[in-house]
Amino acid sequence: MARIPYIKEQEHPELAETIAGIRARRGGDLSPVARMLLNSPPLADGWMKLFTVIRQQTTFGARHREFIIARIAVRNGARYEYRAHMPHALAEGVTQAQLDALQDWRKSDLFDAAQRAVLAYTDAITDDIIVSDAIYAAVRALFDDRQMVELTATIAAYSFVSRFLVALQIEPGD
């Protein structure tokens, strides 16, 4: 159970404009994350804008994005994030076997060289913060300047998401 109550839309008519903006960006129901963020409407609005860009306007490839998100979720114990993105990962061509192997991806032969470079970069940023020259060189060989900025921002942003989810105990089924 989440540590802070989720905002109930019907109890907060003053949030109608913010909620309409979230629905327009995301479509459909308000997720538990959105309902939690609505405790701070300015934060909810900024978060949704940032993650709309990350999910819809980056150029380095959706499959890599979903590998990043899943790996960070596994690494940081963010069960909600993992479950929420599993269908997206599968839709982008990530296999169930790859998702299952993410916990110990270095020992798996299910990942190609590009995926391994992205996963190593993800781990370095998420766990160590400082990225070695060797890890950076391997991933840099794959992406142009814009893509490197987007890739790095995506890893940093989803590390932020996982920490938010875990700290506030946002769980699958909420």
What are 49-102's pLDDT values in tens digits?
999 999 999 999 999 999 999 999 999 999 999 999 999 999 999 999 999 999
Mean pLDDT throughout 160-165? 97
The three-point CA angle 119-47-56 to 5° equals 60
Q: Which two tokens stand for residue 43?
A: 């934060």
For the record, the structure tokens of 59 come out as 């150029």
Q: Does the predicted model carry a pTM greater than 0.85?
A: yes
Token look-up 């798996």 returns: 108
Q: Across the chain, which distance is largest between two alpha carbons, in Å?
A: 53
**Contact present, 134 and 161 (Cβ < 8 Å):** no
Q: Output the pLDDT for position 113.
A: 98
Mean pLDDT of the 152-167 span: 98
Structure tokens at 42: 């300015």
Which contacts (CB < 8 Å, 24+ apart) does range 138-145 have?
Answer: 141/117, 142/114, 142/117, 142/118, 143/60
Q: What is the pLDDT of residues 8-53, one digit of tens each?
A: 999 999 999 999 989 988 877 889 999 999 999 999 999 999 999 9
